[in-house]
Chains A and B, each alone.
Chain A
Amino acid sequence: MLLALIATALVAVALLSEELGPRISRAWRRHRARRRHVAPLPYDPGRERRAEQRARMLLRSCVNDEEWAMYRDLGFIRVWGTQPDGPESDRSAGGAAYAYLIYPHRPIVAYLAQTHRLLAEYCVTFPDESRPYGEAQLPDSDDVLAKWMALTGDERRLIESANMHLPGRELDPARVRRDLWRLSQWERARLRDAEHSQAS
């Protein structure tokens, strides 16, 4: 009886080993691969800076002089909205002129040009899943340029891709209003400079 049980067990083990052997082998290789130490790319402290310099040159070559100066001096770019009824998710603009503020790696803020009433924050990212150099985030100026191209090229598509939130979710509304005030001061100063240079 005992011999019969042992023989049956041996046959069962032999049969199962053919089926389970390759699976166990694959699982072991996966386990080893997960534990294998992959050496990270050597840290290069200048890489981010060089990437940002390249990105700034590309941005400068694409936007107009005023937009470039705005970004250089204020840290954001204003893009005028073109939808007749305002941004996709906020029809309360009611045909009034509106615009967006583009910040690097921050939500895009829509606001009414005349009253500076904030309409919405549009959270959007441009993740590169191939993760070259181990990261997915574009340099600051490339992020701004990507938003600028997507907004000026296909505003509706970008706004539909973004997560819309009420103003104040990520950006402090007081800070945005201060930026709008800085923008108006900056525009006045440029206008004065232009008038002076024409007069002289």
Chain B
Amino acid sequence: MRFLRMKPGHGEVLIAEGELDRGEDEQRLVREFRRQLDAGLWAAVPTADASGRRQAQMVRAFSDIPRDAERVIFFPRAAGGR
């Protein structure tokens, strides 16, 4: 599983990577997930169903992330614009 973060002036950045089956990796991913959410970011997992429909699943807790997810994308939280 890879954690990607969108960054202005850069595009996405790989911020963490690991296997959920490995305890050390999972703990590191949990810490990084909390750190990103504490920093005010939103997290989403892009998904595709059997019919090919694509959508995203917003995740608010590490346990919400599907175990087979390949990546989680972090992006700044939405704010009302002009």
Q: Which residues of A come within 8 Å of B, CB atoms?
A: 47-48, 50-55, 58, 61-64, 67, 107, 123-139, 142, 145-146, 148-150, 152-154, 157-158, 161-163, 170
Could you tell me the distance in whole angstroms from the C-beta of A41 to the nearest C-beta in chain B? 9
A-B interface contact total, Cβ < 8 Å: 127
Which chain A residues lie closer than 8 Å to B58 at the CB level? 149-150, 153-154, 157
User: How far is A48 from B10 in the complex, measured between Cα atoms in Å?
Assistant: 7
Could you tell me the distance in whole angstroms from the C-beta of A101 to the nearest C-beta in chain B? 15
Asked if residues A161 and B78 are in contact (CB atoms below 8 Å), the reply is yes
Q: Kindly specify which of B16-24, B25-33, B69-77 makes contact with the partner chain.
A: B69-77
**Can you list 30 residue pairs at the A/B interface with Cβ under 8 Å?**
A48-B9, A50-B11, A53-B11, A63-B54, A64-B52, A64-B54, A123-B82, A124-B78, A124-B79, A125-B79, A125-B81, A126-B6, A128-B7, A133-B7, A133-B8, A135-B9, A136-B8, A142-B75, A145-B6, A145-B73, A148-B56, A149-B75, A153-B55, A157-B58, A161-B79, A161-B80, A162-B81, A163-B80, A163-B81, A163-B82
* B44 at the binding interface (Cβ < 8 Å): yes
Asked if residues B12 and A55 are in contact (CB atoms below 8 Å), the reply is yes
Which chain A residues lie closer than 8 Å to B80 at the CB level? 123-125, 161-163
Secondary structure dominating the interface of B = strand
What mask results when residues 29 to 56 of chain B are scored 1 for a CB within 8 Å of chain A, else 0? 0000000000110101010100011111
For B, the interface residue count at a CB cutoff of 8 angstroms equals: 30
